[in-house]
């Protein structure tokens, strides 16, 4: 940390005693934070620790119940995001807020047009964009349409948008979630460049490696409180994790070598076209054996979701075959739905637990039957479900999977991300499947729950079940998989053993650089 705390150079951001409650939940408790000008400050914390709330207060989405905000030493009142922009604060959200069918330059001026006519603003923006691109290595074609850009480029547009609004303070919320390792590296170089130009950056992330790589100082939040702020150079990922959770955490997954058996699922030449006739899966072949975990690595949107959905019976396949325990399963028609898949011993922890895996307004016990609601054990008679039995079963499962609070009558939306995921994992693993499909098992899940969920998956493997894991987190892929397949643009780019490869090699495969080209 640079010693700019002296009286003459004010902090870029100074928060004093910020508190915010949502009903009975105290999201932020008396938080004070100082960020020096021209530094990158990281904020880490488990889900629901209050990071996003704090940044939303700074950006004017929420009004704090108590506390003051000083920007560059000035007491600043930020009732809405317009005021935040005037104060020189810009925010890049985890999910981009760009108009997909507008061009880059149109997106940049959106909301900051100078007058009723677009032409002068566009001309001005074009000139400024060129200048900014050179200054910060933020090269994007101003006339390309957003939906044609890669995620990495779309993110640059978001940053350009903030710079166009003359933001001196940039808040970045989980910015690397959708980037390949190399895109992320480029992104960090951009951040270094911005810092060198005197911009102040607040980086919210749960990836401790990124914190170590790029930040100057880091704050840890836990249960709405800011527990500690330390110079990054004087800490370690292990220490940060411990501060986040409040106890020692195993960052590495502890597992024995796999004892793999016969092939459980065998996918041959699988091709999937979506409604727009775009090929999402191209001639994919893979197999998973009993007692092993096959990890699928790749940047989001390269066909992994479709692979899981075909196997889970959510979308039909166009061509190819899938054999489950030696017998083919239907890929189109009535017998290709989720119910039929479950009947064949396939359980599915879907990628998006909030939209797919759970019905958020349903209570925990209702969700425990989700997908298995035709199970005879859950029926009272031919017409009615046995809701009382379900509540009892749910209470037991919540106990053994440590879901907190263990209340079957609570709606799914009222659980934290980690506990929601435990509900899904409990439901799917307890069916004792032959094949478990797992998509992004720890996305938006706190570190404590990650440890627990990983243990459950390993335990299922050790019972001799086949597991297909899809994750965009390379650490997770490395930690859990017995074999790794990399997907790019709907194809399997290659298969590796975790001990015989490294992040660099996988990163290249994820970016679509095949072996031959990579060697050249």
Partner 1 sequence: MSEAARNRLTKGLTDLAFLILAAAIVYFALRWMTAGVEAMIDPVTPGRGESWPLWAQIAQLVYLVLASVLTIGVLSVLVFFRVPNMRDAILVPATSIALAIIVTALVIMAIGESPLQATQVMVRGAVGSGYGWGYTLFYATNFIFTGLAVAVAFHAKMFNIGGEGQAAIGGLGVAIVCLSVPWPHWSLALLAATLGAAAFGAAWAAIPAYLQAKRGSHIVITTIMFNFIASALLVYLLVNVFRVPGSMAPETARFAEPTHLPSAYDIAPWLGFRRSTPLNVSFLVAIAACVGVWLLIWKSRLGYEIRAFGHSQTGAVYAGIHPVRIIMLAMLISGGLSGMMALNAVMGEAERLVLDPVQGAGFVGIAVALMGRSHPVGVFLAALLFGMLYQGGAELEFEMPAISREMLLVIQALVILFTGALDNMVREPIERLFLRLRKGA
* Interaction site with partner 1 (CB under 8 A): 21, 23-24, 312-314, 337-342, 348, 350, 352, 355-362, 366, 369-371, 373-374, 379, 383-385, 387
- Of 269, 199, 148, which is closest to residue 35 (Cα–Cα)? 199
Contact predicate 342/431, CB 8 Å? yes
Which residues lie across from 89 on neighbouring strands? 169
**Shortest CB 366 distance to partner 1, Å:** 7
Which residues lie across from 487 on neighbouring strands? 492
- Of 38, 13, 1, 40, which is closest to residue 188 (Cα–Cα)? 40
**Shortest CB 352 distance to partner 1, Å:** 8
Residue 231 or 361 with smaller CB distance to partner 1 = 361
**Shortest CB 103 distance to partner 1, Å:** 30
**Shortest CB 306 distance to partner 1, Å:** 13
E strand or H helix that includes residue 239: helix 237-245
**Shortest CB 294 distance to partner 1, Å:** 21
CA atoms within 13 A on the CB side of 296: 30
Close Cβ partners of 248 (under 8 Å, ≥ 6 residues apart): 242
Contact predicate 467/288, CB 8 Å? yes
Q: Which DSSP letter does residue 113 get?
A: -
Alpha carbons 342 and 313: distance in angstroms, whole number: 9
DSSP string, 46-96: -TTSSHHHHHHHHTTSS--SEEEEEETTEEE--SSHHHHHHTTEEEE-SS-
Residue 10 or 439 with smaller CB distance to partner 1 = 439
**Shortest CB 384 distance to partner 1, Å:** 5
**Entry field: residues in the chain:** 520
**Shortest CB 397 distance to partner 1, Å:** 17
Residue 224 or 313 with smaller CB distance to partner 1 = 313
Residue 261 or 361 with smaller CB distance to partner 1 = 361
Residue 287 or 379 with smaller CB distance to partner 1 = 379
Structure tokens at 416: 């934290």
**Shortest CB 36 distance to partner 1, Å:** 35
Residue 120 or 361 with smaller CB distance to partner 1 = 361
Residue 17 or 361 with smaller CB distance to partner 1 = 361
SS3 343: helix
Residue 50 or 357 with smaller CB distance to partner 1 = 357
Contact predicate 169/12, CB 8 Å? yes
Contact predicate 325/345, CB 8 Å? yes
**Shortest CB 23 distance to partner 1, Å:** 5
Residue 348 or 443 with smaller CB distance to partner 1 = 348
Q: Which DSSP letter does residue 413 get?
A: G
Alpha carbons 130 and 139: distance in angstroms, whole number: 8
**In whole angstroms, what separates CA 1 from the centre of its chain?**
29
**Shortest CB 22 distance to partner 1, Å:** 9
Close Cβ partners of 108 (under 8 Å, ≥ 6 residues apart): 125, 129, 142, 157, 160, 161, 164
Residue 175 or 313 with smaller CB distance to partner 1 = 313
């Amino acid at each position: 940390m640079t010693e700019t705390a002296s009286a003459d150079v004010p902090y870029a951001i100074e928060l004093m005693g910020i508190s915010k409650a949502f009903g009975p939940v105290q999201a932020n408790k008396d938080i004070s934070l100082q960020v020096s000008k021209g530094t990158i400050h990281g904020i880490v914390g488990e889900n629901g620790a209050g990071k996003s709330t704090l940044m939303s207060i700074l950006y004017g989405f929420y009004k704090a119940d108590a506390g003051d905000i000083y920007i560059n030493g000035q007491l600043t009142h930020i009732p809405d995001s317009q005021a935040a922009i005037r104060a020189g604060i810009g925010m890049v959200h985890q999910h981009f807020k760009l108009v997909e069918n507008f061009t880059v330059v149109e997106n940049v001026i959106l909301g900051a047009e100078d007058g009723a006519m677009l032409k002068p603003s566009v001309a001005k923006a074009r000139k400024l964009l060129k200048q900014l691109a050179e200054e910060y290595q933020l090269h994007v074609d101003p006339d390309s349409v957003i939906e044609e850009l890669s995620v990495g480029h779309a993110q640059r547009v978001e940053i350009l948008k903030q710079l166009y609004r003359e933001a001196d303070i940039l808040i970045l919320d989980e910015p690397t979630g959708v980037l390949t390792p190399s895109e992320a590296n480029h992104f960090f170089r951009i951040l270094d460049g911005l810092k060198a130009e005197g911009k102040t950056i607040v980086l919210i992330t749960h990836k401790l490696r990124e914190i170590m790589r790029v930040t100057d100082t880091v704050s840890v939040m836990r249960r709405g409180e800011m527990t500690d702020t330390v110079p990054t150079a004087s800490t370690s990922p292990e220490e940060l994790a411990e501060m986040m959770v409040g106890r020692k955490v195993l960052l590495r997954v502890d597992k024995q070598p796999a004892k793999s058996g016969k092939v459980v699922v065998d996918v041959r030449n699988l091709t999937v076209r979506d409604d727009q006739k775009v090929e999402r899966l191209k001639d994919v072949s893979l197999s998973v054996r009993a007692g092993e975990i096959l990890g699928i690595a790749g940047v989001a949107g390269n066909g992994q979701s479709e692979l899981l959905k075909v196997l889970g019976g959510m979308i039909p396949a166009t061509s190819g075959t899938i054999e489950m325990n030696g017998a083919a399963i239907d890929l189109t028609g009535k017998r290709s739905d989720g119910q039929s898949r479950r009947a064949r011993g396939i359980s599915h922890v879907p990628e998006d637990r909030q939209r797919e895996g759970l019905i958020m307004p349903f209570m925990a016990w209702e969700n425990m039957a989700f997908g298995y609601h035709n199970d005879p054990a859950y029926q009272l008679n031919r017409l009615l479900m046995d809701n009382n039995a379900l509540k009892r079963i749910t209470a037991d499962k919540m106990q053994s999977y440590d879901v907190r609070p263990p209340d079957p009558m609570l709606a799914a939306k009222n659980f934290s991300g980690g506990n929601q995921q435990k509900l899904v994992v409990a439901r799917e693993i307890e069916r004792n499947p032959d094949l478990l499909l797992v998509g992004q098992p720890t996305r938006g899940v706190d570190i404590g729950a990650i440890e627990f969920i990983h243990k459950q998956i390993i335990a299922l493997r050790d019972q001799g079940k086949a597991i297909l894991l899809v994750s965009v987190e390379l650490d997770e892929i490395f930690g859990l998989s017995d074999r790794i397949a990399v997907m790019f643009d709907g194809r399997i780019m290659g298969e590796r053993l975790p001990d015989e490869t490294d992040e660099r090699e996988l990163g290249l495969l994820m970016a679509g650089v095949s072996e031959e080209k990579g060697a050249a």
